[in-house]
């Protein structure tokens, strides 16, 4: 698997990439990686470019990171592409962000098919512009038979909104008599979330130096390992991903309990 990645490297980066690669254990790759892709605006500002140029570059990084994650054997990659709060941005920026799924999927779909990647989405799709919904739905439909990496876009997603919806669905069932007080358990609540069919993320990455969750997967991240980097999303590359995975592999995940000799 690493050879596949290695073949794509230029000679200049080869040595340091190789060092990173050697430190990562092939057998403990996090199955589900979630990423808060932040810093597109600052990337553009540093170059005296409009913010949308940063988002365009961010889209190219999505393409690269999807390939690396797939090559590494990651099973699910959840990307925070647009939050329920992002509507507050200027219209020109929102319009551009809404055009990205179409741009991305139009050009990348053949490779997604070739790689056996399945596109999925969490979030409220119903209020996205028609062209955005169409692009996402078409990719979801075309890739639904694929059995490899799940590329899961969080689009118009907000964790509190997701929890409110879950509570309402549960209330509906209580009122209909199909759910009782005793049925309400952690597992049952999980079933009502948009990620019901997915395992919780093993690793959360946030770029750009911000250290907060910004309403992202609040329930699902309860036992996830976090990794923050100052790197701006458009500059995030395979070395950063390998570094995040290396740090993840050095962590001792205890889920609130103790491990091995610690119990003696």
Find the binder of ligand FPP among 59, 117, 193, 198 (CB under 6 A). Answer: 59
Binding part of the chain for ligand FPP, among 12-20, 97-105, 138-146, 242-250 by CB under 6 A, reads: 97-105
Measured CA to CA, the distance from residue 180 to residue 189 in angstroms comes to 13
Site residues (CB under 6 A) for ligand FPP, limited to 195-254: 208, 233
CA nearest to 34, candidates 199, 255, 246, 250: 199
Q: In the chain, count H helices and then E strands.
A: 9, 6
Contacts 24+ apart (CB under 8 A), 72-75: 72/1, 72/2, 72/5, 72/24, 72/29, 72/241, 72/245, 73/1, 73/26, 73/29, 74/29, 74/30, 74/31, 74/32, 74/33, 74/149, 75/31, 75/32, 75/149, 75/150
Per CB under 6 A, 53 contacts ligand FPP? no
Toward ligand FPP, which CB reaches closer, 53 or 55? 55
Binding part of the chain for ligand FPP, among 9-17, 37-45, 164-172, 236-244 by CB under 6 A, reads: 37-45
H or E element at residue 133: helix 130-143
Sheet holding 225-228, edge to edge: 118-122, 150-157, 76-83, 32-36, 203-206, 225-228
Find the binder of ligand FPP among 100, 122, 149, 244 (CB under 6 A). Answer: 100
Active-site annotation holds for 11: no
Active-site annotation holds for 13: no
Binding part of the chain for ligand FPP, among 2-10, 58-66, 180-188, 242-250 by CB under 6 A, reads: 58-66
- The residue length of the chain stands at 264
Q: Count residues contacting ligand FPP (CB under 6 A)? A: 19
Per CB under 6 A, 101 contacts ligand FPP? yes
Site residues (CB under 6 A) for ligand FPP, limited to 110-169: 153
C-beta separation of 32 from 198 below 8 A: yes
Measured CA to CA, the distance from residue 97 to residue 52 in angstroms comes to 8
Toward ligand FPP, which CB reaches closer, 22 or 230? 230
Per CB under 6 A, 70 contacts ligand FPP? no
Q: Which of 40, 70, 71, 86 is catalytic?
A: 86
Binding part of the chain for ligand FPP, among 51-59, 169-177, 190-198, 241-249 by CB under 6 A, reads: 51-59
- Which residues are known catalytic residues? 38, 86
Interface positions with ligand FPP (CB under 6 A): 37-42, 55, 58-59, 62, 81, 86, 97, 100-101, 104, 153, 208, 233
């Amino acid at each position: 698997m690493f050879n596949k990645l290695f073949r794509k490297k230029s000679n200049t980066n080869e040595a340091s990439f190789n060092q990173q690669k050697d430190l990562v254990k092939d057998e403990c790759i996090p199955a589900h990686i979630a990423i808060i892709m932040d810093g597109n605006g600052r990337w553009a500002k540093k170059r005296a470019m409009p913010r949308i140029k940063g988002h365009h570059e961010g889209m190219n990084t999505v393409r690269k990171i999807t390939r690396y994650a797939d090559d590494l054997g990651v099973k699910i990659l959840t990307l925070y592409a647009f939050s329920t709060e992002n509507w507050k941005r200027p219209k020109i920026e929102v319009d551009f962000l809404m055009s990205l799924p179409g741009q991305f999927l139009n050009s990348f779909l053949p490779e997604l098919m070739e790689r056996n990647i399945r596109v999925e989405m969490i979030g409220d799709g119903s209020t996205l512009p028609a062209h955005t919904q169409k692009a996402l739905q078409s990719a979801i439909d075309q890739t639904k038979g694929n059995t490899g990496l799940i590329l899961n876009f969080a689009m118009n997603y907000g964790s509190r909104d997701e929890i409110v919806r879950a509570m309402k669905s549960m209330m509906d069932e209580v009122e209909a008599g199909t759910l009782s007080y005793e049925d309400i358990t952690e597992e049952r609540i999980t079933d009502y979330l948009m990620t019901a069919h997915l395992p919780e993320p093993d690793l959360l990455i946030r770029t750009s130096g911000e250290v907060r969750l910004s309403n992202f997967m609040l329930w699902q991240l309860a036992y996830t390992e976090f990794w923050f980097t100052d790197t701006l999303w458009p500059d995030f590359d395979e070395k950063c991903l390998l570094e995040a995975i290396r740090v993840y592999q050095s962590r001792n995940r205890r889920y609130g309990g103790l491990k091995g000799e610690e119990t003696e």
